[in-house]
Chains A and B, each alone.
Chain A
C-alpha cells in the first residue's frame, strides 16, 4: 500500500469541498444549504491542518482555530436569519423566496 502523503489529504479536502459546493447548488432547503457550507469550511480546515503538519509549523492550525470560531458565529447568525425568514414567509425553500418585499 502506498504511504499517505500530503497529496492524499489535499485530494480528500478537494473532494469534500466540491461535495459541499454541489450541495449548496443542488439543494433548495436553506438549512441543508447551510450544512453544505459547513462541509466546505471543514474541507478548507483539513487542507490547512495538512499544510501545517507537512511544513512543521503551527500557523495553519492557528488559522483553523480562527476559522472554527468564525464558523460558529456565522452559524448562529445564519440560523437566526433563517428563523426570521420562516416567521415572515412560512418557508425555508430558497426558490420560493424570490422577492425582497417583506
Chain B
C-alpha cells in the first residue's frame, strides 16, 4: 500500500512540476505548484514527517501561493501568446538539467543501501530539539523574518516624492 502511494505521489508531483514549468499562463503555473507541493506533503507523510507535512501545506498553500496569486493578479499580466522558448536556449537548458540529473543519479546509485529506522514521536521530539540544540538558529530565524518583513514594506512602498 505504501509503495503504491509512493509511486502515485511522486509521479503526480513530477507531472504537476512539468506543468508548472510549461504552463503558458502564470496563474495555471501557480495552481499546479500548489498541487505539486500537496503531493510533496503526501511524500512527507509516507516518510513519517507528519509535522513537516502540515507545515508544508500551511506555509506553501496557505501563504506562499496566496502571495504568488496576489502578485500575478496585481500585475495584470497578459498571457504569453507565443511560446517564447528560443530553440538554442531551450536545448542548452535541457542539456544542462539533464546532465545534472544524470550525474546526481549516478551518485545516488553508488551509495550503500540503507534501511528505514523508526523515528519516534516526531512532533514532540522535533520541538525538544528545536528548543535545546537548535535554539540559536531558531531565534536567528525570527530575526530573519523581521528583516524580511521590513525589507518587503520598504520595497513595496510607493515613493511619495
Which A positions have Cβ atoms within 8 angstroms of B? 1, 3-12, 14-23, 25-29, 31-32, 34-36, 38-39, 42, 45-46, 49-50, 52-59, 61-62, 64-66, 68-77, 79-84, 86, 92
Taking chain A's interface residues, is the majority helix, strand, or loop, or is none over half, making it mixed? helix
Determine whether the beta carbon of A4 is less than 8 Å from that of B126.
no
Q: Nearest chain B CB to A40's CB is how many angstroms away?
A: 10
Q: Which residues of B lie under 8 Å from residue A27 when comparing CB positions?
A: 21
The contact of B144 among A10, A14, A70, by CB within 8 Å, is A70
> Are B71 and A79 in touch, CB under 8 angstroms?
yes
Check B130 against A76 for contact (C-beta < 8 Å). Answer: no
Q: Is the CB of A9 within 8 A of B43?
A: yes
Contacts of B98 in A (CB 8 A): 18
A100 to chain B, nearest CB (A): 17
Judging by beta carbons under 8 Å apart, are A9 and B47 in contact? yes
**Known contacts A54-B116, A68-B56, A80-B155; A14/B64 CB under 8 A:** no
- What residues of A have a CB within 8 angstroms of the CB of B43 in the complex? 9, 12, 46, 49
Assembled-state Cα–Cα distance A60/B100 (Å)? 23
Main secondary structure of the interface of B (DSSP, over half): helix
Q: How many residues of B contact A (CB 8 A)?
A: 80
Whether A15 lies near B130 (C-beta < 8 A) is: no
- Identity of the chain A residue whose Cβ is nearest the Cβ of B154 in the assembled complex: A80
Q: Do B152 and A77 touch (CB < 8 A)? A: yes
* CB contact between A69 and one of B36, B72, B141, B155 (< 8 Å): that residue: B141
A62 to chain B, nearest CB (A): 5
Sorted nearest first, the 10 A-B pairs with minimum C-beta distance are A56-B117, A25-B93, A73-B148, A23-B21, A18-B101, A22-B97, A80-B155, A14-B104, A12-B10, A80-B152
| Interchain CA distance A54-B56 in the complex, whole Å | 20
Can you offer 27 A-B residue contacts whose CB atoms are under 8 A? Answer: A3-B3, A14-B105, A14-B108, A18-B97, A19-B21, A20-B21, A22-B93, A26-B90, A27-B21, A31-B71, A32-B20, A32-B23, A38-B33, A39-B36, A52-B47, A52-B49, A58-B122, A61-B126, A66-B137, A71-B64, A73-B144, A73-B148, A76-B67, A77-B151, A80-B151, A86-B75, A92-B75
